[in-house]
Amino acid sequence: MIPWLLVEWFRAHARALPWRDGYDPYKILVSEFMLQQTQVGTVIPYFERWIIRWPDLRSLAAADETEALKLWEGLGYYSRCRNLLKAARAMAEAGYTSPPAPAEELRTFPGIGAYTAGAIASIGYNLPVPAVDGNVERVISRLLGIEEPSGSAALRHRVTEAVSSMLNDRNNRSRKRISPREFNQALMDLGAMVCTPSRGGVPFCGECPWENYCLARKTGREAELPLPRQRAPISRDEAWGVLAVSSIHKGILLHRRPNKGLWAAMWEIPWFLRSGNFWEDFDAWCVSCGLNLSPDRNSPKEVGYTSFSFTTHHVRAQVVTCSVEGTLPDETWRFFSLRELDDVSLPAPSRKFLACFEKIDIL
């Protein structure tokens, strides 16, 4: 019987992951927030440091956001960290000492969608709820020959229905009870270890417990399914990364981003699009930001190039240092000393700019 073949495979080949130790629902909650759009190998050390600092839901609910963001630094997608804190606080305020079990209730908390709710309910509490991520979409689309684009709502719906059917025994002739915890994790591990994306090769079908049942394998389409994701075009931009240094304030100019959107509420080293001459672009940027700065126009120094990506943009930035003095328009602008920067959580582009800056001796 197909589901049991996968569970038996999982019992022999399951990955040893720290959040699987004891299946504490709180640890599952933390791991699932961290794993969103991030690889397992990257997450493990962050998860282990996080659990040492905040070992349970109550301690996390009382955590300082600045400290949490600093510990999260490097994982990216910082809204996940803020939503994790909001969810923990809301659960604690509702009287919970651990995330609640029902998936429907879990989805009422910040940052918890269908997949995360399903993962906590099924892995943490062994409830028969689907937990469909990209790995599961790929496995089931190949198994059943589903011709829908990767990441599409249509594919997610059909895969969710198929997994739900297996979990609830609607196609189980053997009448053996399938452990939702084992089955959902088995799907995830199979997608990560065996039924892998076809970029640069093909899946390891010979190691799959479902090889003889897989429609994609039978028709030679294992490298084609799921169908390619429908992606928006990528824009490629040139920019300046500006390390504006004040000798009076003994620091580097940073700007606090808006409370919503990309890198929300984080301090960043300024950058702006490049159209030509540095000072022309700099002056136009100051006007657009309401900055009244008096730069030393003999001070600019190019200290390197770096690149970064976000949403549908790829940016190549030339990093420049310059000396500036002047007044700042509001509290969203501030000069930070290098020592203060050690305690500030910076988005990835700013950390790259700072790495260029630290190669020279200005402050």
Q: What digits encode the pLDDT tens for the residues 10-45?
A: 999 999 999 999 999 999 999 999 999 899 999 999
Query: Coil, strand or helix: which one is 243?
Result: strand
Considering the domain boundaries, does residue 343 fall inside one?
A: yes
Report whether pLDDT(223) > 50: yes
- The last residue of one of the domains, among 184, 218, 252, is 218
Q: What is the mean pLDDT of the chain?
A: 91
201 with 56, same domain: the answer is yes
Considering the domain boundaries, does residue 223 fall inside one?
A: no
Report whether pLDDT(199) > 80: no
Considering the domain boundaries, does residue 224 fall inside one?
A: no
Considering the domain boundaries, does residue 227 fall inside one?
A: no
Residue 362 pLDDT grade (very low, low, confident, very high; cuts 50, 70, 90)? very low
The per-residue pLDDT for 201 is 66
Query: pLDDT tens, 295-315?
Result: 888 888 888 999 999 888 999
Rounded to an integer, the average pLDDT of 59-70 is: 95
Report whether pLDDT(6) > 60: yes
The per-residue pLDDT for 311 is 82
170 with 267, same domain: the answer is no
30 with 139, same domain: the answer is yes
Query: Coil, strand or helix: which one is 44?
Result: helix
Considering the domain boundaries, does residue 52 fall inside one?
A: yes
250 with 121, same domain: the answer is no
The per-residue DSSP string of 129-190 comes to -----HHHHHHHHHHHT---BTT-HHHHHHHHHHHHHHHTTTT-SS-PPP-HHHHHHHHHHH
The per-residue pLDDT for 343 is 84
Query: pLDDT tens, 237-279?
Result: 999 999 999 988 889 999 999 988 888 889 999 999 999 899 9
Considering the domain boundaries, does residue 318 fall inside one?
A: yes
The per-residue pLDDT for 363 is 45
Report whether pLDDT(96) > 70: yes
CATH number at residue 344: 3.90.79.10
Which residues are known to be catalytic?
Answer: 32
Considering the domain boundaries, does residue 362 fall inside one?
A: no
The per-residue pLDDT for 298 is 87
213 with 111, same domain: the answer is yes
192 with 299, same domain: the answer is no
203 with 338, same domain: the answer is no
Distance, CA of 223 to CA of 214 (rounded, Å): 13
Provide the terminal-to-terminal Cα distance of the chain, rounded to the nearest Å: 68
* Cis bond before residue 329 (omega within 30° of 0): no
248 with 208, same domain: the answer is no
Considering the domain boundaries, does residue 212 fall inside one?
A: yes
Task: Please state, for a pLDDT cut of 70, what percent of the chain lies above it.
Answer: 95
Range of the domain at 315: 235-357
8 with 127, same domain: the answer is yes
The per-residue pLDDT for 262 is 85
Distance, CA of 133 to CA of 311 (rounded, Å): 20
Instruction: Report how many domains make up the chain.
Output: 2
158 with 188, same domain: the answer is yes
Distance, CA of 190 to CA of 201 (rounded, Å): 16
The per-residue pLDDT for 173 is 52
Rounded to an integer, the average pLDDT of 167-183 is: 74
239 with 100, same domain: the answer is no
The per-residue pLDDT for 151 is 86
CA-nearest of 158, 131, 112, 335 to 243 is 335
- The last residue of one of the domains, among 218, 253, 269, is 218
93 with 170, same domain: the answer is yes
Across 123-137, 163-177, 253-267, which has the greatest mean pLDDT? 123-137
- The last residue of one of the domains, among 192, 218, 244, is 218
CATH number at residue 29: 1.10.340.30
Residue 192 sits at φ, ψ, to 5 deg, of -80, -30
Q: What is the DSSP letter of 227?
A: B
What does pTM read for this prediction?
0.73
